[in-house]
Structure 1
Amino acid sequence: MRTNMDFSPFYRSSVGFDRIFDLLERTAVPQNGDNGPHYDIVKLGEDSYRIVIAVPGYSDDELTITHEPNMLVINGARPENEDVQYLHRALALGPFVRRFELADHVNVNGAKLENGLLTIDLTKEIPEEMKPRRIAIDAAPTAEPSKQIEGNVAA
């Protein structure tokens, strides 16, 4: 069971994590059921992922994939056939929208539709300037012998 959590103490003591707290607040709200198609998220390697969505009966021109900042949106829309009278309708072939939150620097490599499965390949590519790098430590210069300041010398 999910409960509502107050993240305001974290907002006061952190900088730049607003997106994470917004995501946690959205996921803490119970959803009214799953209205989109079923899907799998697979980790293929350290930085590569795959999303597989079951979209039986959809063709590639009835599906739209949009990569927005930190969001992947899949829309499906099929035209309704008014001439057909259903006695029982259990196939979920109506319009749908499925959203996936993406981490920073996750890119969509491509998508394919085969046998009713929409496969989307993703990779996380961290820019070179953001990767951890080793910082060289300069050796401290050797101290010169201290010089004595001449003062009044008693003769």
Structure 2
Amino acid sequence: MTTLDFSPLFRSMIGFDRLAASLENAYRTEAGGYPPYNVELQDDNRYCITMAVAGFSNDDLTIELKENILTVGGERAEENGERRFLYRGIANRSFERKFQLADYVRVIDARLQDGLLHIDLIREMPEAMKPRKIAIRTANEERVVGSLNDANQQRAAA
């Protein structure tokens, strides 16, 4: 088994400790499985997960978000033994699929339509995380101590 070494990345990336664990987990997880799904990038901040869940009703499906892990599950009631199949090609099994979401990604909608479960997601960056200009002071200017908001209020008042 190959082990990935992320130490070169951490020389310039601060606070990405969970990134290595997530990448190693994704590396170990095998692709495919049941049910099939798509992950669509709709624009820079909007995504849609579409899962093929034919035969499942709203009551059979669960969607849960906990600690940035989106879990989609399906459980169908057991069929009684009254039916006899000559051939059974339609899966009637339960499933659980997990998706690791980045920080600030949240679920905005989930809908079941024509046997497809659509889960819409959006990334909303808080104002504090958006790029902002940092003022450069000259050597003669006094340094303002306090929060950034206090400094901005003092400059606005001046």
- TM-score > 0.5 by shorter chain: yes
Partner AA of 1:68 in structure 2: K
User: In the alignment, does 2:97 pair up with 1:98?
Assistant: yes
Deviation larger for 22-31 or 52-61:
22-31
SS at match of 1:61: helix
SS at match of 1:44: strand
SS at match of 1:28: helix
Give the Cα–Cα distance (whole angstroms) in 2 for the partners of residues 39 and 23 of structure 1: 20
- The runs of at least 4 consecutive aligned structure 1 residues that moved more than 3 Å come to 8-15
Partner AA of 1:91 in structure 2: I
Give the Cα–Cα distance (whole angstroms) in 2 for the partners of residues 58 and 117 of structure 1: 9
SS at match of 1:91: coil
Give the Cα–Cα distance (whole angstroms) in 2 for the partners of residues 119 and 110 of structure 1: 8
Structure 2: 5+ residue stretches without partners: 142-158
Partner AA of 2:85 in structure 1: Y
Q: CA deviation at 1:6?
A: 3.6
Say whether the 8 Å CA contact 1:37–1:54 is kept in structure 2.
yes
Say whether the 8 Å CA contact 1:5–1:28 is kept in structure 2.
no
Q: CA deviation at 1:12?
A: 7.3
Asked which structure has the greater CA Rg, the reply is 1
Partner AA of 1:105 in structure 2: Y
Structure 1: 5+ residue stretches without partners: 143-155
If each structure's helix is expressed as a fraction of its own residues, which one has the higher value?
Answer: 2
Report % sequence identity.
Answer: 38
User: In the alignment, does 2:53 pair up with 1:55?
Assistant: yes
Mapping of 1:63-142 within 5 angstroms?
63-82=61-80, 83-141=82-140
* Corresponding residue of 1:21: 20
TM-score by length of 1: 0.79
